[in-house]
Structure 1
Amino acid sequence: MSASLNITSATVDPALLDLPWALPLEDWPSENIASLPKGISRHLVRFANLSGYVIAVKETTLDMAKGEYEMLRTLQRLDIPCVDPVAVITGRQSADGDDLLPVLITRHLRFSLPYRALFSQQLRPDTATRLVDALAVLLVRLHIAGFFWGDVSLSNTLFRRDAGAFAAYLVDAETGKLYEGGLSNGQRENDLEIARVNIAGELMDLSAGGRTDEELDPVAVSNGIVDAYRSLWRELTGTEQFASNERYRINERVQRLNALGFDIEELAIKTDASGSQVRIQPKVVDAGHHQRRLIRLTGLDTGENQARRLLNDLDSYRATTGKQDDDEEVVAHEWLIRVFEPVVRAIPRELRGKLEPAEVFHQLLEHRWMLSQTEQRDVPLAEALTSYINTVLRHRRDEATMINPPTGALTSAIDIVDDDDGDWRDRV
């Protein structure tokens, strides 16, 4: 290790000093490398094990390393889904005294995968659409915060399963810039066009390699991000006008935003001089409506769609146990200890790296619904759990870290049938 090594980090992990910084990243020995699926990057990236977790190490220039580190920290403070910046290391030198490139270190996001590792054999149109929809939500959140990405693509994004959908996380922020006054329409449209072109190119590349379904149209899928983005942007930021005797539409607007997973911190309401017309516009929109409710009630920190699904099951539990009028927090605690936690504890230890607990619970509910439909009876949760573990979970690859994946192999994706009613559920 070079005596001039300099580590910039909010909280330095002493184990960082044990990594072979005097070697170029491409020459790191295999015992330091964690074999994880990677996206396409213009820089050399390696994964390494550190203190029980995995880090991503990227060689880059000094200015880019420091700039991206600070940008990721800023995005975290703004509650934007992104990877966790760990450190910037400079002053690296080889044993011969040659200068080596600085590195940016980020923490690997557990249970997340690059888009190429989220499908089995061939990418189907519905899976591609869900990835693009997730990226559209991320891009809207970034733009609301005033962040211009400049290099929007599937490759610069990590995805986590989120109750039949995907949640997108920003990985590469080196081209990004934050504007305190917000983005102009031109800047937003520029980012959107970059996304459309990059996604089309990425999907065409997969298609040329025979890794997409024959029915997948790369251009149509890439155009989908434009439609998804604009629809969501209008709902979150658009002005709505209606007659003063239709004030119920104010609550309808709020409920639509909540259903999309967003909270309104402030709502601007104006009437015209005659008082016959009302204009409303959400001023500050914050994502994670269902996540925050679930955390408040149970302490569980999940994805937004996972939170929505768990809350639906909680509401169903209240109905089937006749406790609709009881204190919500008390019933939520009861559901947690009688329904959710027993399911998590029942997962064999060797299978707990397959999926996040909330995703396991969601897929269990889907599996139970399918069993009930097939057998034309209400399948008890305990019976469904045994079936799910043996017929589904055991055959999945670990997504906690995906250590040592076979070359060229890809994680299988399970088709999820959305069902939020929960009327059929018996309880343990």
Structure 2
Amino acid sequence: MDPALLDLPWSTPLTQWPADHLVALPQGISRHVVRFVRLAGTVYAVKETGERVAEREYDLLRALERIDFPAVEAVAIVADRVDDDGKPLDPVLITRHLQFSLPYRALFSHTLRPETMSRLLDALAALLVRMHLTGFFWGDCSLSNTLFRRDAGAFAAYLVDAETGALRPRLSTGQRGEDLEIARVNIFGEALDLQAAGVLHESIDPEAVSEEVVQRYERLWHEVTYEQQVERDARHDIEGRIRRLNELGFDVAEVAMSVVDRGYLVRPKVVDAGYHTRRLLRLTGLDAEENQARRLLNDLDTYRAESDLTDEQQAAHRWLTEVFEPVIRAVPAHLRRKLEAAELFAQVIEHRWRLSEDAGRDVGLAPAVQSFLADVLVHRPDEQAVLGIDVHTA
């Protein structure tokens, strides 16, 4: 905790804090008094609330932080406050402000186009799915309790208010349904409020908006959780499922497979983005960018499932020596300066996918490697020519 927080005027109600302690930031609707302060370049949100509520929310936010869930970071609780006359004041919860984030009302400072609203709903539906996968029941899902960050043309959603939440090992269908109904009612009211303020596009129907969040959630939940039956040699179908999840913004940590009469039941375990580089380095020693690591790990996990290997380290070692390294060694010496090893393998996997899509079946790795070398890699410029320097000297 920043020691400078101790110097704030805690004996004064938040409504009376002097302006020289505050920073003006866009703020959503809240049932509590909330102020923002900047200390040594860091912005904190300070919220007055009840003591039990503050303690509960603090504990929940810290628990969510431990599992890398997209939420604001809890910093401290200031309790036992009294004013200059000795009268008790409400405790405050301090959270770290999420940089570059905006409440939904700031995004509607001008009339938003329908496609922008669509991206907001996608982000909120994805947040709810991630939340329910972790066993977190929100209890007050709304646009007001969410912060949005722009993310390469889309939005990423973060939980900002957890005082009604509960973290359980697993949520039932009924608990998920209750959370969705709360979300539907809250978002309908918020959309009506935007419409009354004249900042909702005339083509957007508030009731349709609230229903759309639920529909998007249900579609995403199904794609993330359903068990898919595939034939024993249908590696291509497994890769297709993983790719669809990647396109929806979910990464796949591993693929669980169980044997049935004519094939396998496949169920992927999804995680948040940013996971793969660390896992690939831990398992194989390969240092790659995130998208490269995702493709390599997808291939490793499919290999592990097909090989019926339960030990992750053993599977990684075998994949490295039996799959990855043979592909790299297959590249002739005069072509090896065209791409680094991780990128080369990632492009081979992508090439195999395209060939398999065209053929309607898995074409296999060896034919894909030979096709890639002959039809793709040979036509690429050397890194030396691209960079304008000698690679070995660099």
TM-score when scaled to structure 1? 0.65
The aligned residue for residue 9 of structure 2 is 20
The aligned residue for residue 340 of structure 2 is 326
Q: How far apart are 1:138 and its partner, in Å?
A: 0.6
The aligned residue for residue 257 of structure 2 is 269
Q: Among 188, 191, 199, which residue is 1:203 paired with? A: 191
**Cα gap change, 1:329 to 1:73, in 2 (>3 Å):** farther
Q: How far apart are 1:327 and its partner, in Å?
A: 3.1
Assess if the C-alpha contact under 8 Å between 1:54 and 1:107 holds in 2: yes
Q: Among 276, 281, 291, which residue is 2:267 paired with? A: 281
Q: Which amino acid aligns with 2:258?
A: K
The aligned residue for residue 405 of structure 1 is none
- The answer on 1:106 being equivalent to 2:75 is no
Q: How far apart are 1:214 and its partner, in Å?
A: 1.0
**Cα gap change, 1:327 to 1:244, in 2 (>3 Å):** closer
Q: How far apart are 1:30 and its partner, in Å?
A: 0.6
Q: How far apart are 1:265 and its partner, in Å?
A: 3.1
Structure with higher RCO (Cα < 8 A, 6+ apart): 1
Question: Map of 1:64-213 to 2, 5 A cutoff?
Answer: 64-180=53-169, 182-213=170-201
Q: Which amino acid aligns with 1:235?
A: E
Equivalent position SS for 2:12:
coil
Equivalent position SS for 1:288:
coil
Unaligned runs of 5+ in 1: 1-11, 305-321, 331-425
Question: Map of 1:29-48 to 2, 5 A cutoff?
Answer: 29-48=18-37
Q: How far apart are 1:110 and its partner, in Å?
A: 0.7
Q: Which amino acid aligns with 1:113?
A: L
- The answer on 1:216 being equivalent to 2:230 is no
Q: How far apart are 1:290 and its partner, in Å?
A: 7.8
Q: How far apart are 1:113 and its partner, in Å?
A: 0.5
**Cα gap change, 1:204 to 1:157, in 2 (>3 Å):** same
The root-mean-square deviation of aligned C-alpha atoms, in Å, is: 3.0
The aligned residue for residue 50 of structure 1 is 39
- Deviation digits for residues 279-316 of structure 1 (CA, Å, limit 9, x no counterpart): 2122x321216874899868899xx9xxxxxxxxxxxx
Assess if the C-alpha contact under 8 Å between 2:274 and 2:290 holds in 1: no
Q: Distance in 2 between matches of 1:14 and 1:170?
A: 26
Q: Distance in 2 between matches of 1:290 and 1:211?
A: 38
The aligned residue for residue 311 of structure 2 is none
Task: Tell me which moved more, 259-268 or 61-70.
Answer: 259-268
Q: Number of aligned pairs?
A: 302
Unaligned runs of 5+ in 2: 282-286, 295-335, 345-385, 389-394
Q: Distance in 2 between matches of 1:65 and 1:120?
A: 31
Q: How far apart are 1:217 and its partner, in Å?
A: 1.2
Q: Distance in 2 between matches of 1:24 and 1:235?
A: 48
Q: How far apart are 1:259 and its partner, in Å?
A: 3.1
**Which structure would you say has the larger Rg?**
2
Equivalent position SS for 2:203:
coil
Q: How far apart are 1:132 and its partner, in Å?
A: 1.2
Percent identity, aligned pairs only, is: 54
Q: How far apart are 1:225 and its partner, in Å?
A: 1.1
- The answer on 1:232 being equivalent to 2:217 is no
Q: How far apart are 1:79 and its partner, in Å?
A: 0.8
- Deviation digits for residues 24-58 of structure 1 (CA, Å, limit 9, x no counterpart): 11000010111111000011101111222111100
- Deviation digits for residues 404-427 of structure 1 (CA, Å, limit 9, x no counterpart): xxxxxxxxxxxxxxxxxxxxxx99
- The answer on 1:252 being equivalent to 2:235 is no
